[in-house]
Structures are given as structure tokens and as C-alpha cells.
Structure 1
């Protein structure tokens, strides 16, 4: 029961937000994943501003940039006069988001902790579209595919993994931090799941002691850090070291299903060896 409570709470909040929604004609997205969710909800043609890294779908590349990793261009947002701003609570500066709210802008928080939240946001954002059925259909399709993967891997034997977010400093993730849900669905067990920090900085020695069966990274050259330690790690000895598609994995969007399939495929290889 406890595991379902956050999802129920998320739904209650989102339902409350969307119950007052009406078609939005000028929309701004403040993160790449929010941009993808907007397109999935049928709002692509209404987007007038997006974040710098919004590059999917291809149409997003042609929309004006109003935010980047350094900050948000509030003056430009004011000039664009959006009737909906899709924010990223975990990544956007809280003070700027509060400022936009105080100005009277309608800010929708696209916060995602669970895989189901992706469909929930698409569903609720669809209420801002002139034709909500597009988003509703996409949300339904996402859940059907997600549930099929869950059923397929519900009895998969556990595999201990390490996911390297960055090399210098060496950062990984703890339990319930995105994208841990992807690995969990596939039967992955995070060797640093119990860390009190959501994205802990760890040492080489800690990873060596943990001896993960498989090591992942979303950056092609990240594993060079381990060149002098490969003989000490069973993951390298068994060639269980893989680079994942960063956009599929790190952005909580419909393409997350591609990340699930990719991770599950690799963990299945470990199980067969």
C-alpha cells in the first residue's frame, strides 16, 4: 500500500490542476522532458518557447529558446505572454518559478518520480490542447506498453548494478531517484540504493567493495575512469559494462520505454552469462 501512495497523491494533485484547464494557445516549456511531454499531449503547435536543450521531436529545434542550464529569461517570457508554462520543479530555479507565479502566469509542474507519472502528465496536459484525444491516446498507449514490460519482467532474477552519472566527481543515484525506476522494472538492484543523498558522490573504493554485476553510464567516455581498476571489478571481467542512450534514460518522456527495453536487454545478458 505504501508504494502506491505517492502515485495516488500525484494523481490527486494533477487531477486538481487539470480540472480547471482550458485550451492554451501560447505555451512555454522550461526543460527538454517537459517539451517532449507537451508534444505527446498534442501541444506542439502551441509552444512559443522552450529550453535550450529541447531537441526532440525535431520540430522543437525551431522554437525560440527562453531558458538554459544557466537560468531562465524572465523578460522574454513576459514578452511572449504565455497562458501556460510547463516547469521542471527539480531543475528550474525555485525563486524564478515563484516569481513567474507571482506575476500571474499559469505554471504547471512536470515533476516525475514514477514511470506512471509520464502518462499522468500527458493525460492532464492534453486538457490544455484543442484536441485532447491526441494526448489521451498517447497516454493510453504508453501505459499499455509499460504494463506489458512490467508483466514480462515481474519475476526476473535480481541483478546488482551501478549507474555512473558523472566521473569527476563520481556521482550515482540512490533509491527512488530518477531514473532508478527504469532499472527497478528490469530487476536491477542499485548497489547504492540506501544512500541518504538522492544523487550521492561516491569513491572508487566504495564501488570496488560493492562489486556490481553490471556497470552503466550514459556517456561514452565515462568508463575511462576505471581503466586502471578493470581487473578488480567483475563487471569488467565479464564484459558487463554498457553505455545507455542518455536522452532515453535521463528524460522522463514516452521515449523512456526505449530506455527500459535497453536496460532490460542488458540485464538479461548478465542473467544468461
Structure 2
């Protein structure tokens, strides 16, 4: 009998704990996680991870997806609004090491704010960050779905262009001064994915300043730019390149090309299409 009473008492305690847990559950998420992003690519990654409903503020130029356009702006290329960020009391701050000034972020960390740095170095890092941010989301299945879709698309492009004939290219980052991106810079990964051969791959700088003569002597077969129209100087450049014609001057979406987000593979598809046309014309 004593043993029976002990078991009965234990059962009642377990039952009470279950009741309390069920009562508490609706209140556990009564205050949703508050998230602030300090870089456009971090904003996109947050939404891809299912954190859209949790976003309370973002950086300037955080324009994708569309709901991000209505978020309060608390950062730009000049710095961050430290006092405003503190007032918003975020549970999670998504930052960009190298793109955000370190001192305000150090101050936020000292105040106890949680800061997650998002600095993708490779294309595969994109899906990894989405999955990691999904751990903060109330809908982690969104992160899993988007990360898997990205990985599948990346694997498909890798398989399709792994043995593609290399095509020398020049990417115009800036017209005045004339600047490009070497293999040390983020965009080069997208060109390499499609079989592009960077004519300034060996530059020591990530974004070197070059001149027209250097471009011409390295004879690219395709020219890329991110403006709506190529600069006037490109007409004379194309005329001096025997293997390049005006039809092989291609515009690229700058946001797709420069942001480490799932949309980067949209830029890759643009590049792959251009390089395929060059290969077909040879």
C-alpha cells in the first residue's frame, strides 16, 4: 500500500507539471523575438530564415523582400544609430564585420545585446547562415526549405559548369575611376561558378583600380557591368578588342551580384547565360 501511494503521488505531481506546462506555453512566446539587421544581405538572410515577423529595424538599402522596405532604418555606410538601437531593445542584432563600425557594436555587446555576425566567405556559407538563423525562428521549416533549395540550385550549377570551357571576362565595378573585382572579392565566385576566367584574377587588391590599356591587353571575350547602360568608354574599348563585340557586353543586377544571399544564384544564372553565348559564338 505505501508503494502504491508513493506511485500515485508521483503521478499527481507529473500531471500537475504537465498542466502547468500547457498553461505556460501560450505565454512563452507572448513577446516575440525582436531582431535588428545592420546590413542589406543580413536582412535578406533573416527573412529567408523565417525571421520576417521578428524584424523591427534594418539598415539602409534593405529593400528585399518587399516588407523590409517599411522597416525603420538604424544603420548606413556612415555608421549605426546606437541610441536608437538600444531603445528598440532587440533580442538579436545581425551585423556585418567589416561593413559596420566596430566600436558601437562593442558597446552593444558590453551592454548585453546578442550580436550575430554574418560574413559569408563562400557560396555554401549562405545556406549555412540561413539554417543557423532558423534556430531563432518560430518557423524553422522556412529556413530549412530555403536553405535546401539554395543548396540544390548551387549543386545543379556546379555540375553543369564544372567542365565548361573557361571564358576570359572583365567586370566593371566603377567607371571613374576604372575599377574591377579580383578573385579575392565576393563577386568572383559567381563568375568562377560559370566558368569565367577573371583577367585580373592575380591582383593583390580585392577591388583594384585599373586602366583601359590593361583591360585591352588582357583581351577579355565578354564585358560585364551593373548599370542600366554601359558607360560611353566601353564603345571604344569593345572596338579595340578583336574577340569581343557589342553583343557580348552584359548588364548584371548589382544586388544579386554583390549581396551574399540566395539571390546571388540569380546573378550566376545571368553570368552563365552570357558565357554560354560566347562559347557558342566561338
Sort the Cα spacing of 1:220 and 1:234 in 2 relative to 1 into closer, same or farther, 3 A: farther
Look up the match of 1:12.
none
Question: In the alignment, is the contact (CA less than 8 A) between 1:24 and 1:83 conserved in 2?
Answer: no
* Secondary structure at the counterpart of residue 108 of structure 2: helix
Look up the match of 2:6.
none
The structure number with the bigger radius of gyration is: 2
Look up the match of 1:267.
275
Deviation for aligned residue 1:83:
1.0
Look up the match of 1:51.
59
Partner Cα separation in structure 2 for residue 271 and residue 256 of structure 1: 23
Question: In the alignment, is the contact (CA less than 8 A) between 1:113 and 1:177 conserved in 2?
Answer: no
Look up the match of 1:244.
252
Sort the Cα spacing of 1:208 and 1:63 in 2 relative to 1 into closer, same or farther, 3 A: same
Deviation for aligned residue 1:238:
5.5
Could you tell me the TM-score, scaled by structure 2's length? 0.85
Partner Cα separation in structure 2 for residue 222 and residue 98 of structure 1: 42
Look up the match of 2:134.
126
Correspondence for 1:115 among 112, 118, 123: 123
Q: CA RMSD in A?
A: 1.7
Deviation for aligned residue 1:233:
2.1
Deviation for aligned residue 1:235:
5.5
Structure 1: unaligned runs, 5 residues or longer: 1-22
* Secondary structure at the counterpart of residue 236 of structure 2: coil
Partner Cα separation in structure 2 for residue 99 and residue 67 of structure 1: 15
The number of residue pairs the alignment matches comes to 252
Structure 2: unaligned runs, 5 residues or longer: 1-30
Partner Cα separation in structure 2 for residue 221 and residue 90 of structure 1: 30
Could you tell me the TM-score, scaled by structure 1's length? 0.88
